[in-house]
Structure 1
């Protein structure tokens, strides 16, 4: 479960990356801009996603989840855990057979981190990028764009985005931590321009009697 969260909360610090000799490829920027502008203009989108982590020994772990995004708001569903962000407050809700717990933070505490609501803009600073070519992915033609961190010390030194050629949808991506670990993600059942209410991104403590509340605001 913790590895899934790395997608959104450790895939950050775009200002701390390793020195790269690659430059910003104009062809890649056109593609990245088109993808970013499309998703930022949407009313919202939902998707399921598959996550796989493989370490340097070749061992792997696979999980699944669901995501909904509207502007700066998002809701992320993981096994035994959900994260709600209404752009002002973040609730991390954990529910098992034995207990229920919610941790509450100000959304401002997450500034500088890559989250589901800004993943489509992460290339804008801290990375060089280049277009690698095309590859079939999920039965679709995907254009591969490689992002390379500019400075040393990043949690992930390289990211490869898979962008559908005909729609500019982001289909999936791979992140390399520089120590042999590879984090792979793929969107499935992507639905765009979904009408999502503001309440969908807020967590109501009153609907969960007996829940332990950890308020860190």
Structure 2
């Protein structure tokens, strides 16, 4: 890659980030259905021609924003772990995963979950992302040696329960620190899983 190409790529990413931030702000102010491309380019301080270099319409911008954050939710859920290494649940602490810190650092986006007129399909994303991490990458060891907790329904239940607790934290205005929220989630995990192993990291 040449210097010019690298600079152009960084400029493009910065431009797209500005469009995404503008969209988030405008959804909070007016709701997604009332936001237009004109609103977005004015808020981001670009012109329509620049917008259409990257996106067909506001729905394409919304989809890219959702996909980007969806992938980061998954990454921040397991990027502290190495494939094939067993983690003893009682040894975990507030720094054992980064999801709560990621959510806290991106409050404008995650507060979109509190809105009815928000990014299309957003409300399904948090539990689905957590479920995919559990289903595709985690092998759990039950505190009960005679019980299997790796079947699909259990991981789906875990995902929706975890997402529900996180959304309650968001809705209440983040009354606990990210570290405290992590400890709460670990305490719940410790009640039924004594350990887990990351079986794969390649598809994140």
TM-score by length of 1: 0.22
Larger radius of gyration: 2
TM-score by length of structure 2 reads 0.22
